[in-house]
Amino acid sequence: MKFFVDTAEIDQIKELNDLGMVDGVTTNPSLIMKSGRDIIEVTKEICSIVSGPVSAEVTATDAETMIAEGRKLVKIADNITVKVPLTWDGLKACKVLSSEGHKLNVTLCFSVNQAILAAKAGATFISPFVGRLDDINLDGLELIEDIRTVYDNYGFGTEILAASIRTTNHIADCARIGADVITAPPAVIKSMVSHPLTDKGLAAFLEDIKKTGQKIL
């Protein structure tokens, strides 16, 4: 499974990237706003840090302008993936830009039907939103599983990029189901290391070595 980090905060990306925990980055207008940075400037800096795909989202809603924005975004760096919404105009933009050889991330997916359309339009990645479905008492993980089944049934090459990941359980479940990629905030990825038995065991080891009076350094 590939890990994309869902942020536009440079320091957080660098920390995870240095540990080999970043295979790509996803951004969106909300994350750009939170960073307080210029969208072109911060996206260029992210692309210089991470060698994998960096999703940069268009801000238009009509196909013609989305296509124009996508063509501008891909000039930032070779590893740009243009992110478009899963609307009819977004699919039109996906088809044109993917036909030109660009990578596309079709976002805000909430149904299998939408995922099928995105794959047929040439999406590199489809981004189903797990957490947002859970928020309205629907099973976000079930959507990941259903898309996996349909894509495998028909040999679609579009990668399933599980988004809106809120918990470490989401990550483990997506891995079991067979999502190709997860994108999560840095805090969620870092919290994967935590387990109370690890903490308990370490405390016991440290207490025992302290009793011996020994030190390595």
Which residues are identified as catalytic? 83
What span, in angstroms and rounded, lies between the C-alpha atoms of 131 and 137?
A: 10
What span, in angstroms and rounded, lies between the C-alpha atoms of 99 and 96?
A: 5
Q: What string of DSSP letters covers 183-197? A: EE-HHHHHGGG--HH
Provide Rg for the chain, Cα atoms: 20
Q: What string of DSSP letters covers 133-197? A: HHHTTS-HHHHHHHHHHHHHHHT---EEEEBS--SHHHHHHHHHHT-SEEEE-HHHHHGGG--HH
What span, in angstroms and rounded, lies between the C-alpha atoms of 163 and 217?
A: 44
| Angle between the N-to-C axes of helices 168-177 and 140-154, in degrees from 0 to 180, rounded to the nearest 10 | 20
